[in-house]
Amino acid sequence: MIDIRALRDDPDGVRAKLARRGVEASEVDAVIRADVAHRARVASAEAMRAEVKELSRQVGKAKKAGDDARADELSARSRHLGEEERAAAAEADALFEKVRTGLLYLPNIPAEDAPDGVGEEDNVEVRRWWPGQDLGRPEPGRLDHQQVPHWEIGEALQILDMERGARLAGSMFPLYRGPGARLLRALTAFAIDRHSPPYEEIRPPTVVLTETMTSTGHLPKFADDAYHVERDDLWLIPTAEVPLTSMHRGEILEESQLPLRYTASTACYRREAGSAGRDTRGLLRVHEFDKVELFAYASPEGALDAQADILARAESMLQDLELPYRVLDLCTGDLGGPSARTFDLEAYAPGVDRWLEVSSVSWYRDYQARRANVRYRPAGGGPLQLVHTVNGSALAWPRIWAALVENGRQGDGTVMLPEVLAPYLGGELLLKTP
């Protein structure tokens, strides 16, 4: 969440900055009003508490002097004032929750250099890459034999079975078979080998507490997109970012430890609320998928370097996988709620003739760390500081899988996979009908 002190010290500035994201001034003002009322009620309760304490002292003095009537009068006033103080304290607590809830719903302040815009059509393409670009080869066109969507390729080669997946769990739950399943496993092994040991490998739980989901910004605002196990009050993670963000929740780190870098391969679960009828063919939008995540806790000074490192790693993997891709600088209207700056990577899939988002690399400033209360002790002394968090996918596999089989499709219907995966596939790179 954003710092409440920013709302107190520079409300006009916060309104203007959040307006770039389409946040109405009334949403900001509601939090400011609740905060003013909360602080006033706290002050009132504290004043009454001090007066009750003084009355108690005077009661004792009156009794010592033998003035029972005065002591009774003061005691009655003390009891009445005590009831008022408890009511004021309860009202202050309710106002505090109102302030906290308002802050939980407000998005992060966007970075100054994030491009302005209202939606994905305003995202800025930074660069694109394709195989052979460094040799001066032109950007490849869409070949006739590549104009087959991955779900048809998967069915023909018996490596993807959406129908059986739906029979088992409902629509948008894919089932991979044989070489298709092995390809997923190979991609994960390739990614983990690429990222560790610079990024410590973690295998976190894939079900987490409400507090853990809240720390990243997924709750309460995006509850409809998450799977909730109500009986145990646990949530299925939508990304490994969720447990990694809370690995050091409530801890104080040393600046010398930063950046702390982690990578994790997990299953991810998303309800994709509101997606009915949109991108629901094949693997374009699914409820369960595997993903390798990169995450860093950094100092404010090192955060952008950490983001650049994750972005470079994701790009290098796409290049090794020989997938054409582009990098987008997301505009303020398309940023995820907790993000200050995000770069998306989109791989081109010729079978569906689409650019498919395969990674988002985001810098959150201290927005998540304030929720998770992750701080560090500056090496030069001074007060504790909140860390900055950075994360990105390297990579998310369903759309990578789709892009690989569509780009790799040959004229005879087989699929040739990139050489970089040979060590993970026993050297067998050709997918063909059994």
pLDDT of 241-267, one tens digit each?
999 999 999 999 999 999 999 999 999
Q: Quick one: which H or E segment has residue 376?
A: strand 375-377
Residue showing tokens 């029972």: 68
Catalytic (active site) residue 326: no
Q: What does pTM read for this prediction?
A: 0.93
Do 140 and 188 reside in the same domain of the chain?
yes
Please check the confidence at residue 38 and state whether its pLDDT lies above 70.
Answer: yes
CATH number (domain holding residue 379): 3.30.930.10
Active site includes 399? yes
Residues 62, 167 share a domain: no
* Judgement on whether residues 79 and 172 belong to the same structural domain of the protein: no
Given 100, 285, 326, 377, the catalytic residue: 285
Kindly report which listed range (35-39, 79-83, 123-127, 259-263) carries the lowest average pLDDT score: 79-83
Q: Where does a domain end: 105, 134, 150?
A: 105
Q: Which domain holds residue 98?
A: 4-105
In a domain, 26, yes or no: yes
Whether 21 is catalytic is: no
Q: Judge if 381 and 422 occupy the same domain.
A: yes
Whole-number Å distance between alpha carbons of 11 and 341:
22
Q: Out of 177, 194, 357, 377, pick the active-site residue.
A: 357
Residues 89 and 152 in one domain: no
**253 Cα distance to chain centroid:** 21
Confidence at residue 280, expressed as pLDDT on a 0 to 100 scale: 77
Cα 302 to chain centroid distance, Å, stands at 19
Same domain? 296 vs 356: yes
Residues 378-434: tens digit of each pLDDT: 999 999 999 999 999 999 999 999 999 999 999 999 999 999 999 999 999 999 998
| Residues 415 and 321 both lie in one domain | yes
Which of 80, 105, 130 is the C-terminal boundary of a domain?
105
Q: In the predicted model, what is the mean pLDDT of residues 24-30?
A: 97
Residue 110 lies in a domain: no
pLDDT value, residue 275: 61
**Both 163 and 264 in a single domain?**
yes
> Do 99 and 150 share a domain, yes or no?
no
Residue 114 lies in a domain: no
pLDDT at 274: 61
In a domain, 302, yes or no: yes
- C-alpha 43/C-alpha 52 separation (Å) is 14
Residue in 20, 182, 261, 270 annotated catalytic: 270
CATH number for the domain spanning 13: value is 1.10.287.40
Peptide bond into 238 cis (omega under 30): no
Give me the mean pLDDT over the 322-350 stretch.
98
143 and 61 in a single domain? The answer is no
Mean pLDDT of 10-32: 97
In a domain? residue 16: yes
Instruction: Count how many domains the chain has.
Output: 2
User: Would residue 113 count as lying in a domain?
Assistant: no
Whether 78 is a known active-site residue: answer no
Exactly one of 370, 375, 399, 409 is catalytic; which is it? 399
Of 215, 360, 362, 393, the active-site residue reads 360
112 found inside a domain: no
Confidence of residue 143 (pLDDT cuts 50, 70, 90): very high
Question: Which of 77, 105, 133 is the endpoint of a domain?
Answer: 105
Residue 251 lies in a domain: yes
84 and 142 inside one domain:
no
Q: What pLDDT does residue 251 have?
A: 98
Give the DSSP letter of residue 10.
-
**Same domain membership, residue 174 and residue 295:** yes
Decide if 194 is catalytic.
Answer: no
